[in-house]
Amino acid sequence: MKKIGFLTSGGDCQSLNATMRGVAKTLYQAYSKDVEIYGILEGYKGLIYGNYRKMKPEDFSGILTEGGTIIGTSRQPFKKMREPDENGLDKVKAMKDNYKKWGLDCLVILGGNGTHKTANLLSEEGCNVVTLPKTIDNDIWGTDITFGFQSAVNIATNAIDCIHTTAASHGRVFIVEVMGHKVGWLTLHAGIAGGADIILIPEIPYDIDSVVKALDKRAKQGKRFSILAVAEGAISKEDAALSKKELKAKRKANIYPSISYQIGEEINKKTGQEVRITVPGHTQRGGEPCPYDRVISSRLGAAAARLIIDEKYGYMVGLKNGETIPVPLSEVAGKLKMVEPDSSIIKEAKGLGICFGD
């Protein structure tokens, strides 16, 4: 009898259920009744404190189109995993003990960057682990795309699309703030797809004067409105030059709710144009997965099940050039896949006339 544990950790996204379904259906096809799946509740928290429920085949029926995660999730920062909890519990030991207590043959972990650091830790500690790349940010190293990304792009793009008509009607500057603290993939793709005039991402620090120059150029061309797609982690050239300590202190004293409000006020002061801010926020994580995500989630899940069947552990399943591949966890953990400022997609976007504030 094979015993497999499922765990979803970190922020949720639209295709977690679809991916678990892909793993489960493939395992049930391969082992029939000779496999048991345990849903570990609320991420690593469940693995630490021993909370789980035994899943049935019917639990994975009808969830292909369901967003969120049926087994819950939580954020457990990797940097605190080696620290005892408030009652002195050794978290890593507790996770290993529960893994052994439940008699698991493999732990399937779905998550983003922090999740993969802890997954690699568990793998190094002797647990059989297979992971799947989940994040709307698309910033996991070793895969061309993560599940959840395209669904979030669709939602962010729709937000920009909806802004177009009101921006054109009132002749205003609109800023749409897109999720992405450290990387700009989501803002970049939604910005291009939504026809944004200016795109600001963390990887390309902006100069507010360059942004104003682009707005003035549009005004002189008779364009009555402009739309900026701004990543929540966008940073000015001035702030990018600061040390981490200096930047932290500056942000702590910041009076603005987010970077978009600061940019909006600076634009208003320099141009006199009316500026409005729209923040889609967590809607980008919600709703049902788009068809593209359903396909890659099903494929990645099936590929993960194949690794389990072949007893090939310590890998993340990635997607490269349209093919599913196993990527060693040791190569994935701790790495971010950033947008390269000199990449072809940036050059092509600039060729379209999009300003990146540099």
Mean pLDDT, the chain cut into blocks of 10 residues (358 residues total): 95 94 97 95 96 96 95 91 90 95 97 94 96 96 97 97 88 92 95 97 96 93 93 93 85 88 94 92 93 97 98 97 97 94 97 95
Residue 24 belongs to a domain: yes
What is the separation of C-alpha 154 from the centre of its chain, rounded to a whole number of angstroms?
14
Question: Could you say which DSSP state residue 290 is in?
Answer: P
For residue 172, what pLDDT is reported? 86
Interstrand relation of 275-278 and 323-328 (parallel, antiparallel or unpaired): unpaired
Residue type at 58 in one-letter notation: E
* Catalytic residue flag (residue 137): yes
CB within 8 Å of 229: residues ≥ 6 apart: 156, 160, 176, 178, 187, 190, 191, 194, 196, 198, 199, 200
Q: How far apart are CA 50 and CA 159, in angstroms?
A: 41
Q: Do both 96 and 160 map to the same domain? A: no
197 assigned to some structural domain = yes
The residue segments making up the domain with residue 311 are 2-148+289-332
Which of 12, 59, 137, 197 is labelled catalytic? 137
Both 62 and 47 in one domain: the answer is yes
Same domain, 47 and 133: yes
Q: What is the CATH number for 309? A: 3.40.50.450
Same domain, 127 and 12: yes
Phi, psi angle pair for 25, to nearest 5°: -60, -40
Residue ending a domain, among 248, 269, 285, is 285
Task: Please indicate, yes or no, whether residues 221 and 136 belong to a single structural domain of this protein.
Answer: no
What's the DSSP call for residue 60? Answer: G
Q: Give the pLDDT confidence score for residue 307 in this predicted structure.
A: 98
- CA triplet 231, 237, 239: central angle to 5 degrees? 85
pLDDT for the residue numbered 254 = 84
Residue 32: predicted pLDDT: 87
d(CA 338, CA 336): 6
Beta strands of the chain (E only): which ranges? Answer: 2-8, 35-40, 52-54, 106-111, 129-133, 173-178, 198-200, 226-231, 275-278, 315-320, 323-328
